[in-house]
Structure 1
């Protein structure tokens, strides 16, 4: 029988998911700088994103939301600096990327915990599961989104579209994480695997809604 207790997702894993989600939107578009400079930006942002998430791992619940806001801002900066796109396009893309990252981290960790790979003490199994899980999800989402992106990245997103995408993304985030704040709601779970199911399913639904919105 599976234990009802599931450890929290390591912050480093969340940071890698956020970085990969940004890469899904960065790779197809015309870059702002040369290949070498872009590669340096990618490497630096992976270190910065990972460092920030690890350093803030033990913050109190009061600072959790501000830390998430900073993480999203880092993602926005990463996308905007890497690609020759308008700020409205970058804002729109980061909203989708954030939900994608939440889904990616959630489903990989849930599967790893189910098969008792997570925190098993066998580091290569944990990282192999991470690479396979994140890799498969990233490739699938990249293939789905790539056909809808113009090469120059200019899809003329306006602030009105950004606002509606923001409302969708923030609603998805709130519902998927509400169990971590309180269990006294009709939409909360009481056990960790139950909470993980809610988060994964809601994030997947959020990706579908944002994809439909993009179309």
Structure 2
């Protein structure tokens, strides 16, 4: 019985196949675009190279066993780098994780095949053995793909800090060392046969994979926490701007009240030069306040008036047809964030348009059926790429600062009030449409 359950070493060809499949899984998960035929061809070439390296490593003396492993791991690194072109931190993390996946894949599949050999000898023919190994590999890879095929883990796999990258490398080394301890202590009473050794190796590799997935979930939760802090800060900032705008509007009203008294003074002034000077001064003052916008909603009026004043000052043509009463049910802070963030993005885009005649922003707040339509469009000369989340990818080069939270907050507002957010960029017009139910 003991002899029948003895497990031979994993053939090098199966180890190479496990490494190729694990590398392919990593490439599929971290690439944003569809894999082209040229990439598949390159991946095939690297796969052939993996088989050759494993064959050569099998010829090494036992003293150079570790060297052979390092060479194969480095080849996996080159495979992922050549087919994905990611940052060095992402590559280190993915290679470490891919190596553990390959170890788990090879050990678990080989164990299953060997146990089937024990219970059904006819399956142990070379052809059926190869087919069975490939089927088990495919099933495990498919399950791992389904496990990681979501936005949470995709973000966690693409946003790797230097600390996380080096931690993953240390974890991979510790998992590999622990999983192979059994081969060094075969005389131990608990590990006195190859079946126990392979069982230990498979379980340790599985624990290593679980450790990687736990870290990825923690990384994503940390991202969500920071995301929430940034959006709350943006909500507060827009609300504080609204408070400042409202105070400014009150100052304007007082200023117009003072103009009445100044007109009385001008009427009594006998000196024509002084009277003309007063009149010119009044004209300058009035010109500053000609941006007044009335929509029927005091919050909307204040924000749009200030944004319109900014547009006038910077030669941006801002047209607005808005029934502000349709937005009465939206919370003040949410409304400030919606108006402030959407208009700030549009104004920033127009500031990059060189032709003043093409600096155009158009806002419409209308009703259609039982829906409120908040439509904002602006002319743009830049092509905007939309990410997998439906939001534009940032064009800012300074990635140390948070970007894109304005549109994320608008989408959050849409979900909060049971609506939808649609963003398009077509024929030089960037368009944001927010649909909200009236009820």
Structure 1: state its 5+ residue gaps.
Answer: none
Aligned to 2:179: 176
Structure 2 unaligned spans of 5+? 218-439
Instruction: Give the number of the structure whose residues are more often strand, by fraction.
Output: 2
Equivalent-residue separation in structure 1 for 2:166 and 2:30 (angstroms) = 23
Residue 121 of structure 1 deviates from its aligned partner by: 5.8
Q: Which residue is 1:130 aligned to? A: 133
Residue 204 (structure 1) aligns with? 206
User: Is 2:50–2:75's contact at 8 Å kept on the other side of the alignment?
Assistant: yes
Change in Cα spacing, 1:50 to 1:37, as seen in structure 2 (3 Å) is same
Question: SS state of the match for residue 196, structure 2?
Answer: helix
TM-score where L is the length of structure 2:
0.45
Q: Which of the two has higher C-alpha Rg?
A: 2
SS at match of 1:27: helix
1:84-103 aligned at under 5 Å gives the runs: 84-103=85-104
The structural deviation recorded for 1:74 is 0.5
Larger helix fraction of residues: 1
Distance in 2 (CA, whole Å) between partners of 1:33 and 1:54 is: 32
Cα deviations across residues 69-115 of structure 1 (Å, max 9, x unaligned)?
11110001101110131111011011111001000000111111111
Query: Is the 8 Å Cα contact of residues 109 and 118 (structure 1) preserved in structure 2?
Result: no
Any conservation in 2 of the 1:89–1:157 contact (CA below 8 Å)? yes
Q: Distance in 2 between matches of 1:121 and 1:64?
A: 28
Aligned to 1:54: 55
Q: How many residues align?
A: 212
Summarize the Cα distance change of 1:25–1:114 in structure 2 as closer, same or farther, 3 Å threshold: same
Which structure 2 residues correspond to residues 35-184 of structure 1 after superposition, within 5 A? 35-116=36-117, 122-147=125-150, 148-150=153-155, 155-183=158-186
Identify the structure with bigger relative contact order (alpha carbons < 8 Å, sequence gap 6+): 1
Write the distance in 2 (CA, Å) between the matches of 1:28 and 1:103.
Answer: 18
Shift of residue 35, structure 1, vs aligned partner: 1.4
Q: For the residues of structure 2 that align with 1:44 and 1:33, how far apart are their CA atoms? A: 19
TM-score, normalization by structure 1: 0.89
SS in 1 for 2:30: coil
